[in-house]
Amino acid sequence: MRLLLMVSRVIDTINGTIGRSVSWLLLAAVLVSAGNAIVRKMFDISSNAWLELQWYLYGTVFMLAAAYALLQNEHIRIDVVSAHWSKRTRDWIDLVLHIIFLVPFAFLMVWLAWPWFWLSFRSGEMSTNAGGLIIWPAKAMVLIGFILLSAQAISEIIKRAAIIAGRIEDPEGNQPHASVEKELV
C-alpha cells in the first residue's frame, strides 16, 4: 500500500503542476481573442489561424485541467443527495463509481484517441479553413488530457481505498461535499 500511495502522490504532483500551469493559457486565449477582434474591427483583417488558436488554447485548458479538477474534488457530483450520506458511504460510492465508470471511460478514450491523434500527426493534417492551423496538436491535447485523467482516476482509487482501510487520514475530513452554490450562500 505504501508504494501505491507513493505512486498516487507522484500522479497528484504531476496533475497539480499541470493544472495550475495551464490556467495561464486562459489569459493567452483571451489576449488572442481580444487581439483578433480588435484587428478585425479596426483594420478589417481576419485570420482563421487566430480563431483556431483561440479554440486550441481553450480546448487545451479544458483537457489538461480535467485531471486537476478531479484532484481538487471539483468534479460533478449530486451534492443534494450525497450530502445526506455518511462520509464512509460517500467514500465507498466514490471508490466503486471511479472503478466501474471513470476508469473504463478514461481508458477507452485513451485507446480511441491514440490512433485518431497518430493518423493526424503522421499525415500532417491541416484545418480545412483557409489559413487554418495544423490539427494534430489539438488532437494530442485530447490524448494527453485523457491519459492524465486516467492516471488521476487511479490515484483517487488508491487514496479512497487507503482512507476506507484507515491507512491515511482523509484530507477532506468528515465534512460533506459542499456545492459551490451552497458555499456562495
Mean pLDDT by 10 residues, the chain (185 residues): 92 95 92 90 86 92 95 76 80 92 97 97 90 92 97 96 88 57 55
126 beta partners:
134
Asked whether residue 79 is assigned to any structural domain, the reply reads no
Cα separation, 9 vs 1, in Å, equals: 12
User: Residue 130 has what pLDDT?
Assistant: 83
User: Residue 56 has what pLDDT?
Assistant: 94
Asked whether residue 178 is assigned to any structural domain, the reply reads no
Asked whether residue 177 is assigned to any structural domain, the reply reads no
Asked whether residue 179 is assigned to any structural domain, the reply reads no
For residue 85, what are the contacts with CB-CB under 8 A and spacing of at least 6? 93
Residue 69, all three cell numbers: 479538477
Asked whether residue 180 is assigned to any structural domain, the reply reads no
Cα separation, 138 vs 55, in Å, equals: 9
User: Residue 74 has what pLDDT?
Assistant: 82
HSE-CB at 7 with a 13 A cutoff on CA atoms is 14
Domains contained in the chain, number: 1
User: Residue 100 has what pLDDT?
Assistant: 96
Which residues form the domain of 17?
A: 2-74+84-172
User: Residue 123 has what pLDDT?
Assistant: 96
What is the pTM assigned to this prediction?
Answer: 0.84
Sequence length of the chain is 185
User: Residue 120 has what pLDDT?
Assistant: 95
